[in-house]
Structure 1
């Protein structure tokens, strides 16, 4: 314990840790309806229509109506399904998404009511590995959901999702290696501080890694044009075909929460986290607002791509991941390693 405290430099009381855990979970639950409403509004504008505008002022309560409709539906499952795993699968998806959100730094250590408080859920010295570990666990939620449903269509969608996640996690992981070498740390807060010390966001020297990681993030979240795991024209509905009511709502929430989480991770690794450009140094209370603004901009980009690009074929999806993204990420890592050693 003494070693840990020496490395961290401060100790948070238990009540602060519990409060932070509650805030992270509550914020995660509130972000999903906001992103859902924003997506429906933005897609409406892209397609020259209004989007939701009936439920509540300017349609602001439409996500609550959608979620309420799903939660109040009768729960059911096929006779061929495996009950415990059928219920557990969507829970795994939402827990892993929330646990990953806990690693996102919204600022550094600040003084609140005389107590040093880190503006993050947890800051471990293996922060990147923590993120990828929970990302790897998340795929079990998709595979179990498809397999435990007892449906061949669901199982096929689950296998597609597993192959897609594994393929693009390899490229995404290699894209991050360049950032880790430049920062000299796996800690997310130290990576942000390294960008402050260099006076340059890592998106500039690691632009190729940024593009590869962002593309892999689209595949990780099953978003267009990589939404082959839920291709209704081919699979009826994918791994979540047999889910309705609360189970479907949980999967739905996990997908949109993952958009926010991966946007936050991208902002932390490549866009300076809570840092502002041009050396602007605002008060510490501005730091979380800066991170939220960057998350919003990247989430808008996710929606923009969905409105713009058509869905790929599955063979195109896999070829793009293994034949284009993986070599690019590998070359980027090798070049970064050479430059770091030389300079």
Structure 2
């Protein structure tokens, strides 16, 4: 049976999760597979959060909660955002807790945009952005961010793509898949254009803790940007809680009010006992984050130093997130063929760059959120496999 929704007919298949399924089949057949396709931290969730969930279940916290999340969680999130990043939001009216950042971005599009509106996003981008735009009935317009420009977002490229239908700009820093970080100077130029053209910004900051050598700056903290920015974050990466599905939106009260209305009709509320566990993560998880990020830096440094020595691979050292996005054009293979070759010959699974938008062409994404030993093994096997070409 085919979908009767014509918007969804252009939704691509053969993306990340299809690759994951193929890799699992090879693994079931006995092949040694190193999974570098899924951006999931290999750390367990914080013990204090898991213990809090057990306690919540035993105390019958199994029913509906406030649409925007339980008050202790909203308060804990806002205190953590102030403590770690200087973001100041009212926990009563300027936050909505949702079933992950993916729901949050989809809900924002459905709330703030009309059918046929346009949203601009730097490309390459997280693959769900384009699909969420299709579902919401809006058009995602891609702006190139290129390795040849050292992954700097050119404001003039944004300006060229603004039309009377443009309503929003979707930013992601630190970036998935390219690992770049938008610095304050770059963000100030973007903010100036946003204010001039009266746009709203969705700022996806899910990798805010994963920055190596720089400091995370949210565009919402720049002059006159707080009231036109919706900040999206999640517990998935920072606390290694991907399956808990706890994300949130921070923004002005007059927007959160309507966002909650749409969220209510998508998922009613987040899982009650997961919220109680997340309270403990936000209140007492700073050291957990710091230890995990320190280990990810060690892995990323090794991956970069190793892969950048391979003839034919072009690399820029990632400044944030936990992805490498090498240029593989010199091998004369499509991104999909390159990934298939690595999977079959080296047992290392990556994702074709084209899964991340038009400007992911010529690249593959490798997630270094595997053990250090796996990273070392993967680099050796990649080097050996590419040496045969």
TM-score (norm 1): 0.30
Greater fraction strand: 2
Q: Comparing both structures, which one devotes a greater share of its residues to helix?
A: 1
Q: TM-score, normalised by structure 2?
A: 0.27
